[in-house]
């Protein structure tokens, strides 16, 4: 299991397409990236999870994710709104948000980066490419990068 100071790394995926949730989860497994994989089915639920509202109240049961995988086209609250809310909320704004969507639209990509998206990935159409994408994502975010939650975690940890 990939771990940080809290324990296993948590990925939260927000996507209304359960096929894609399954694909990403399988691809993560197949590339050997063992993470605590959580998912929600729309943007509103994603915000609920991240801000610990409603049924996500308990931090033990709904641990803070190290990375959010965000689809754009979702019911209730779409990905763009969700991204905006994450970036406007001081409590959760440092969490990297990787947009994972069908679109290849250049204007949309630019918009995502302008709104503070951490990366933009077009959903691969071949499963092999999906495994490759997840492998690189894990290598980069959990083995190469120093994630902000580790710093925040250390700062708020009680002194020994």
The least distance separating other proteins from the CB of residue 87, rounded to whole angstroms, comes to: 25
Q: For residue 60, count CB atoms less than 10 angstroms from its CB and return exposed for 0-12, middle for 13-18, buried for 19 or more.
A: exposed
Instruction: List residues near other proteins by CB under 8 A.
Output: 17, 19, 23, 102-103, 123-128, 130
For 123-159, give one letter per residue: b (16+ CB within 10 A) or e: bbeeeeebbebbbebbeebbeeeebebeeeeeeeeee
The least distance separating other proteins from the CB of residue 1, rounded to whole angstroms, comes to: 24
Judged by beta carbon, residue 9 or residue 14, the one nearer other proteins is 14
Judged by beta carbon, residue 103 or residue 118, the one nearer other proteins is 103
Judged by beta carbon, residue 1 or residue 126, the one nearer other proteins is 126
**CB-based contact 118:98 (threshold 8 Å):** yes
The least distance separating other proteins from the CB of residue 75, rounded to whole angstroms, comes to: 14
Judged by beta carbon, residue 77 or residue 123, the one nearer other proteins is 123
The least distance separating other proteins from the CB of residue 154, rounded to whole angstroms, comes to: 39
Between strands 3-4 and 7-8, the pairing is antiparallel
Q: Which of 62, 45, 46, 67 is nearest to 134 (CA)?
A: 67
The least distance separating other proteins from the CB of residue 125, rounded to whole angstroms, comes to: 4
Judged by beta carbon, residue 23 or residue 97, the one nearer other proteins is 23
């Amino acid at each position: 299991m990939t771990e940080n100071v809290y324990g296993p790394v948590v990925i939260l995926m927000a996507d209304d397409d359960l096929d894609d949730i399954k694909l990403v989860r399988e691809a993560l497994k197949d590339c050997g990236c063992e993470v605590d994989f959580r998912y929600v089915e729309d943007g509103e639920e994603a915000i609920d999870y991240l801000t610990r509202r409603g049924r996500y109240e308990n931090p033990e049961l709904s641990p803070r994710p190290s990375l959010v995988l965000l689809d754009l086209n979702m019911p209730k609250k779409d990905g763009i709104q969700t991204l905006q809310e994450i970036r406007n909320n001081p409590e959760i704004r440092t969490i990297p948000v990787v947009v994972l969507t069908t679109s290849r639209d250049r204007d949309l990509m630019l918009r995502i980066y302008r709104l503070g998206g951490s990366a933009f990935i077009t959903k691969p159409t071949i499963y092999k490419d999906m495994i490759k994408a997840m492998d690189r994502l894990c290598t980069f975010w959990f083995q190469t990068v120093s994630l902000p939650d580790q710093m925040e975690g250390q700062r708020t940890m009680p002194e020994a």
